Every structure is written in C-alpha cells, then in structure tokens.
Amino acid sequence: MSIWVCGEVLIDILPTGPVVGGGPANTAKALARLGHDVDFIDGISTDAYGVSARKELERDGVGLSLSLTSDKPTCTATVTLDSAGSASYEFLIDGTATFDFSPSWLPDPERLKPSVLHIGTLVTIVEPASSILFDWAVKCAELAPIVFDPNVRSSVVGDRDKYRAAVEKWVGISSV
C-alpha cells in the first residue's frame, strides 16, 4: 500500500528561471525522500516542462504509474516578487495536462487500496477537475484517510465565498 498524492505538478516561472513546483508535487517528493512509498496522481505533459517534472519526480523516488501522460501543455505559474520579496502568482491553467482529470484514468481505490490520499491545492478548486476529483475522493475516503491541503491561492478564484465553499466541501470528507 502506498501514499497517494493527487494534485498539480507545474512549472514556477521565477525571475531567475523555471523550476518544477506545485504543492502536491513538492509533498510527494518530500515523502519519497523520507522513504515512503508514494504514487503521484496528475496529468503530466509530454512538453519540455512536463519532461523536466517527470524526471525530477522520478529522481526523488515518486511513482508515476498512476499519472496520465498527456500531449496538453504543462500548467505554469509566473511568479512576481514585490519590493518586500512577497510573491504573487499568475497561473496558466485552462487546457493544461495538469488539470486534465477524468474518471476513466483515475486509479481504483478499491483495487489498489492506498494507505492515505493526500490531495490539494488548485485541483480541488478549479473546475471541472475539482468535481471529478471530489467524487473520486469520496470513494477513497471509504478506504483510507484523506489529508487535504488547500494551500489557498486567492488569485485563481476571485470569489471569496465560492472559494470558501469549495474548501469547506473538501474539509467535510477529510481526516486531516
């Protein structure tokens, strides 16, 4: 049984250059480095950014057999730093591999039996990925604890009430 981490791997476009990022991808890498059996669940592009992301995840010991290989582009987050060094993000989300979730390729929790599902960040907020993943996560919650990491990015959904409702929905099925 492995820890499943579901969410985005993306490319942060920093002033110094592009780096592999995404809260869930970073969580998967950290857990794998600590010696845990981790499988990452996301759409990973075949573009240059996706190839870099795949190599980095594999190098750190993250399993990718549950991820989708996609010809769609990789999601990017352009990072701007203000004079105090605080970051703001502009995301390219629509039409990317990162948010290309479908019930047809998501792993079957009854058959594969994860020990934990860690899910979070943008994929739990951005539609239609959020609804697709929520229905799937409800099935996972019957078999394993759910760890939800909202890692709020208010620039993605400007409507605070809508964002809060989405987070509360996920909290309702989560163990942590």
SS3 at position 163: helix
Q: How many residues does the chain have?
A: 176
DSSP label at 143?
A: T
Number of neighbours of residue 118 by Cβ within 10 angstroms: 25
Kindly report the pTM of this predicted structure: 0.93
Cβ neighbours for 155, distance < 8 A, ≥ 6 positions apart? 88, 89, 90, 91
Tens digit of pLDDT at every position of the chain (176 positions): 799 999 999 999 998 999 999 999 999 999 999 999 999 999 999 999 999 999 999 999 999 999 999 999 999 999 898 999 888 888 999 999 999 999 999 999 999 999 999 999 999 998 999 999 999 999 999 999 999 998 777 666 778 888 888 889 999 999 98
* Cα–Cα distance for residue pair 35/45, rounded to 1 Å: 26
Number of neighbours of residue 172 by Cβ within 10 angstroms: 11
What domains appear along the chain, each with residue ranges and CATH number?
A: 3-173 (3.40.1190.20)
Cβ neighbours for 55, distance < 8 A, ≥ 6 positions apart? none
